[in-house]
Amino acid sequence: MTGIDRITKAFSKGHVAFMPYAVLGYPDRQASLAVVQTLAEAGADLLELGVPFSDPLADGPTIQAATQKSLENGTTLKDCLAMTGELRQRGVNTPALLMGYINPIMAFGIAPFVAEAATVGVDGLIVPDLPPEEADELADACAKHGVALVFLLAPTSTAERIQLVVEKSQGFIYLVSLTGVTGARRDVPPDLADFVARVRAQTDKPLAIGFGIGNGEQARQVSQLANGVIVGSALVKLAAESLDNMRALAMELRAGVGK
């Protein structure tokens, strides 16, 4: 079964998929592995594993601080691949996507990176600073190894942009719930339903919503609109404070999404 198949299957369980995010290498290497294991045990249907980068343009202050700490710990893209492989060896079988930026991938080498990613058990890639118009080389490498390449849409996306992304994105489409960077917000954006409807009118691929979701009630509201709910900053904030509190929030989010 390819990574694309595993991701597709995760959206076919009869409930909205819960996808938590964790920064690899934060608060340190071993602790980050424990964080991911805990999220998997708390009911994650998919995992979004963050690769630290010095200029994370899509990320708000919480994740920026976490990725900076990971970089200070010496975490590299190769380390992130190794950590993913170690998670698989530990028995974490949840479909996993690496979320990272294009510069480290290009420095590594696109073809060898995707080949190694597939070998260690990466199912998909999310590269927020790579537009689909410039993604052919990475897309070809991903197709060769059955790795899903997931693209993002924002509320400001035009009909033409939506059409392009729904054609190119594999596994699911990542919908950014608001205009801005990551970070938990107090309320779900009021125009989110209209945005989702615009995308849904052009595709039947799974839609997963991220950015701004921080508690079970928000997860419940978003789950009424989409096939998947992605939560990052609220969990990352707790990752270095209390594994038990992070587990409790993850279980609250899982319950909010529904089973």
**Distance between CA 159 and CA 200 in Å, rounded?**
11
Virtual CA dihedral for 7, 222, 178, 19, nearest 10 degrees? Answer: -30
Residues recorded for the chain: 259
Q: What is the pLDDT along the chain (259 residues), one digit of tens a residue?
A: 999 999 999 999 989 999 999 999 999 999 999 999 999 999 999 999 999 998 877 677 889 999 999 999 999 999 999 999 999 999 999 999 999 999 999 999 999 999 999 999 999 999 999 999 999 999 999 999 999 999 999 999 999 999 999 999 999 999 997 654 444 445 566 688 899 999 999 999 999 999 878 899 989 999 999 999 999 999 999 998 999 999 999 999 999 998 6
Contacts of 31 (CB under 8 A, 6+ apart): 239, 240
DSSP string of 94-140? S-EEEE--HHHHHHH-HHHHHHHHHHHT--EEE-TT--GGG-HHHHH
- Separation in Å, CA 100 to CA 145, 166, 170, 204: 18, 20, 17, 26
Annotation says 48 is catalytic: yes
Question: What's 161's domain CATH number?
Answer: 3.20.20.70
DSSP string of 212-240? S--SHHHHHHHHTT-SEEEE-HHHHHHHT
What pLDDT does residue 180 have?
A: 44
**pTM (two decimals):** 0.94
Q: Where do we find the tokens 């990725």?
A: 67
Phi-psi region of 246 (alpha: psi -120 to 50; beta: other; left: phi over 0): alpha
Return the number of other C-beta atoms located less than 10 Å from residue 4's C-beta: 20
Q: Which contiguous run of DSSP H or E holds residue 150?
A: strand 148-150
Q: Please give the tally of structural domains in the chain.
A: 1
Q: What share of the chain is helix, strand, coil (3-state, %, to 5)?
A: 50, 15, 40
Which residue out of 5, 28, 45, 48 is catalytically annotated?
Answer: 48
Annotation says 86 is catalytic: no
Of 151, 170, 138, 128, which is closest to residue 3 (Cα–Cα)? 170
Q: Are 228 and 17 in contact (CB under 8 A)?
A: yes
Which residue out of 45, 59, 116, 123 is catalytically annotated?
Answer: 59
Domain that holds residue 68: 3-257
What pLDDT does residue 182 have?
A: 46
What pLDDT does residue 173 have?
A: 98
What pLDDT does residue 211 have?
A: 81
